[in-house]
A and B are shown apart, each in its own frame.
Chain A
Amino acid sequence: DVKVTQSSRYLVKRTGEKVFLECVQDMDHENMFWYRQDPGLGLRLIYFSYDVKMKEKGDIPEGYSVSREKKERFSLILESASTNQTSMYLCASSLHGTGGGGKLFFGSGTQLSVL
């Protein structure tokens, strides 16, 4: 089974802090994604990566950056955390790009609270 592991289940940070969310997948997937889930808004794509060192902005990239130095690891960085970034963050990976019905495999999520 594909395993997508997010380093923290819960995080509490202060406004202005730099925050790192880590994600590791063990199935040699090319594509990795960061989503955030908010009540009433569903899952919104922040960034995705289709190869090492390659990244593309999603729908809500403002205030975030990403890093993919190794194929299995995709990091989400909040440069200066703000209260409106309090959310559930979900990492996902897939073998194929979309346009082939490639399934996304999700991690368990990181609930981030910014105070």
Chain B
Amino acid sequence: DQQVKQNSPSLSVQEGRISILNCDYTNSMFDYFLWYKKYPAEGPTFLISISSIKDKNEDGRFTVFLNKSAKHLSLHIVPSQPGDSAVYFCAASVPSGTYKYIFGTGTRLKVLA
């Protein structure tokens, strides 16, 4: 049972436009949500996170929005750059004591120059 879902396996966006990556989850007990970026042949790197008590977190070109009632979060990248082309994973952390992160299946973003 996939608790964290990324329903779009791929997304193509023109350089300079907005990229929106989506993630849905089923467990209302998740307390933190994180986004990771992964280039080929490299490990994932942390991008941005949001606590379940917030609805928005911004860091430069990256903004994460959380809609708890819909159990949905999204990552906005504005403006998109060719270097943003990568696979993006959303992850949710299980409340403390279990040390677990649940990852989605990933969305491959391609930013076209």
Q: What are the interface flags for B77-111 relative to A under an 8 Å C-beta threshold, 1 for contact and 0 otherwise?
A: 00000000000010101111111111111100000
B99 touches A90 (CB 8 A): no
Partner of B32, one of A9, A90, A98: A98
Interface of B is mostly: loop
B43 touches A107 (CB 8 A): yes
Of A14-22, A36-44, A61-69, A74-82, which stretch is located at the interface?
A: A36-44
Q: Which residue of B lies closest to A99 (CB)?
A: B96
State how many residues of chain B have any CB contact under 8 Å with chain A. Answer: 31
Q: B residues 37-67 with Cβ under 8 Å of A?
A: 41-46, 49, 51
Task: Give the size range of A's interface with the partner.
Answer: 20 to 34
8 tightest CB-CB pairs across the interface, nearest first?
A: A99-B96, A106-B43, A98-B93, A42-B105, A43-B103, A101-B32, A97-B99, A103-B46
Q: Residues of B at under 8 Å CB distance from A?
A: 4, 6, 9, 31-32, 34, 36, 41-46, 49, 51, 89, 91, 93-106
